[in-house]
Amino acid sequence: MLRLRHIIPCILMILLLASCAAQQPSSGADYKEIKSMVIDILKTEEGKKAIEEAQKSSEQSSGAIMQMLSSPQGQQIQMAVKEVLTDPKYPEYLKQMMTDPKFAGEFAKAVQEANKDIHKQLMTDPEYQSLLIDIMKQEDFKKIIMEVMKGKEYRQQTMTIMQEAIENPLFRLELMELLKKAMEEESKSKEEQKG
């Protein structure tokens, strides 16, 4: 937000300069001229300083938020959040908030790293592993997997994987050896049947 405070005056200055420029007989400056003018302005020392100040101010604002959370006002905010989260009506309110795509997206970004760490820890937990295996053994789960495997997208992906594997020289060599063994076994069984 603070970054915009510094960039907007620069853009307004550019637009002002462009509007005050000598008018050509045509309908005005075209896109390429304006673009090159903006790029030239951003390459100047003043433009670079404005961009740096905008970046610094955004970094300072995030640091200020962290400092505010440790202040008495921040503690009040934490208490208010705690009261909201422990309220019995909260689950219903959370469901309503999650229907807003913007909020849901921001929330997902905020908890993404923590969620990833939780999943990594769970994957090493023997109890979680056994529960996961039990779920995979259930008939409903097997039916879902089979339905997915019957789908067109899955089959196309499988074909793509197979084509990529066949293009691999090591895989080709291994496949040729397996085919050679199969042919030898087939010829041996035919000879035994004749003899």
Question: Quick check: 14 and 50 in contact, CB under 8 A?
Answer: no
Query: Tokens 């923590």 label which residue?
Result: 114
Looking at residue 44, what is its pLDDT?
82
Mean pLDDT of 42-53: 78
The pTM of the full predicted model, rounded to 2 decimals, is 0.33
Biggest alpha carbon–alpha carbon distance for the chain: 103
Contacts of residue 93, Cβ cutoff 8 Å, sequence gap at least 6: 87
Sorted by where each begins, the domain ranges of the chain are 1-70, 151-187
Residues 34, 15: Cα–Cα separation, whole Å = 9
Question: Quick check: 48 and 42 in contact, CB under 8 A?
Answer: yes
Looking at residue 50, what is its pLDDT?
77
Nearest 5 degrees, angle CA 92-CA 118-CA 123? 125
Looking at residue 152, what is its pLDDT?
93
